[in-house]
Each structure stands twice: as C-alpha cells, then as structure tokens.
Amino acid sequence: MSHRRVAILISGGGSNMVSLVDSMTRDHPARPCLVLSNDAQAGGLAKARDRGIETAVVDHRPFKGDRAAFEAELLKPLEAAQPDIVCLAGFMRVLTGDFVSRFQGRMLNIHPSLLPKYKGLHTHARAIEAGDAEHGCTVHEVTAALDDGPILGQARVTIAPEDTPDSLAAKVLLYEHQLYPSVLRRYVEGNRSVLMLP
Ligand code: GAR
C-alpha cells in the first residue's frame, strides 16, 4: 500500500510540524510531502529541510490583504505536492471558504484552547483571565468558519494559580505534540472518533 501524502502549513517555529513529521515513520500509513509557510523567516522551514522534506514559501504580505490572490499562489506548491491530507500547524492566516472547500474533509488544524472556548488569538491569557480551572488544545477538521469544524481530539491541562500566559502556553504545547500526531494517525486510518488526552 502506498503512503498517504501529508502537507503541513506553518507560520512559525514549527514544533507541531516537527512532531507530526517525526511521527510519520515505520508502519505509519502517511508521509510528509511538503512544508509550506507564509513567512520565509519561519523557524520551522530549516527544521523541515534538515529532515529532508520539500519546503515552499508564499509570503502573504505582497498581496496586501487580497486573500483570494494570496491563496491562488499558495495553491500552486500545495497542489503540486498532491497531498491527501493538509495539516495546519501554527499557520496564522485565516483561509477563505473557497480555499477550505478544496480540502474539505481532509484538512486538520490544531488550536491552543479547549474549543469551542477561545476561538482566535491570545487563548492562554483569555483562559487565565476567565479564571478557568483547566485549559488545553484541540485538533479539529477545518471548515469555512474560524476554529470551528468537527472536533477530533482534545488534551486538557490544569491551570495552576501561578501560571502566566507563557507558562501555560508551554504546558499546552507539550500536549499539542502528543495530541496532533495521535489524531493524524487515527484520521489517516479512517478513525474520526474523538480522542481525549491525557
Ligand atoms: C501552537 O501553539 C498552535 O496551537 C498555535 O500556534 C502555535 C504554533 O507553534 N496555533 C494557533 O494559534 C492557530 N490559530 P509551533 O509553530 O511551534 O507549532
């Protein structure tokens, strides 16, 4: 059986991308086919290259907010890589419904909150400000609505009284690195049931 092809979109350090890539070995039914960034400075690009993975960059800035034009360029390397599945891993651009619909049912995202709580940005600070006892991360299928779509997995962490947004982000990120590879593997194998960690 040939491997399913996974493209990963990043904007930053790419630690989730690394955890996904490093999981796709041995008997895993998928392999990475492309790491694509909207920022040439994204630290994750070098990590992908070090792992022998093809990379591409489409800078969003020259498009000055013309999302359709940016996405038309983004599609070129993405379609050339012929992915079966697209993983958003810290990709910080909002995608249009047109773009998302091309990958409907085969695009995943990781978000640093227990969705449906705290869609959007500054999730850790918002959870602390709200006085929440727990926080976490979610992997979900991407639909046209931001940070929406069927939930495939969640990991919970307890918020300690001394937590700051940074300390909480670091705790959640460790769980992201467990959750995303686990959900991806199940997804490739056709398992859409919700995975709860720990
Ligand atoms: C992760 O915490 C991810 O959940 C978050 O950005 C970080 C990327 O870190 N994503 C979002 O906020 C998406 N809206 P990484 O580049 O080290 O994987």
Q: Where are the domains of the chain?
A: 1-103, 109-198
Establish whether domains 1-103 and 109-198 are of one fold. yes
pLDDT value at position 120?
Answer: 97
Pocket test of ligand 1: the residue of 23, 135, 139, 176 to mutate, having most ligand atoms within 8 Å of its CB, is: 176
Mean pLDDT within 30-46: 98
Please report which helix (H) or strand (E) contains residue 152, including its range.
strand 151-158
pLDDT value at position 176?
Answer: 98
In CATH, what number does 109-198 get?
3.40.50.170
Spatial contact of 58 and 70, defined as CB atoms under 8 Å apart: yes
Mean pLDDT within 44-55: 98
What pTM was estimated for this model as a whole?
Answer: 0.98
Q: Going by CA atoms, what residue is nearest to atom 5 of ligand 1? A: 90
Spatial contact of 50 and 21, defined as CB atoms under 8 Å apart: no
Mean pLDDT within 55-83: 98
In CATH, what number does 1-103 get?
3.40.50.170
For the cut 80, the answer to whether the pLDDT of residue 194 exceeds it is yes
Mean pLDDT within 161-180: 98
For the cut 80, the answer to whether the pLDDT of residue 107 exceeds it is yes
Question: What is the spatial distance between Cα 94 and Cα 140, in angstroms, rounded to a whole number?
Answer: 15
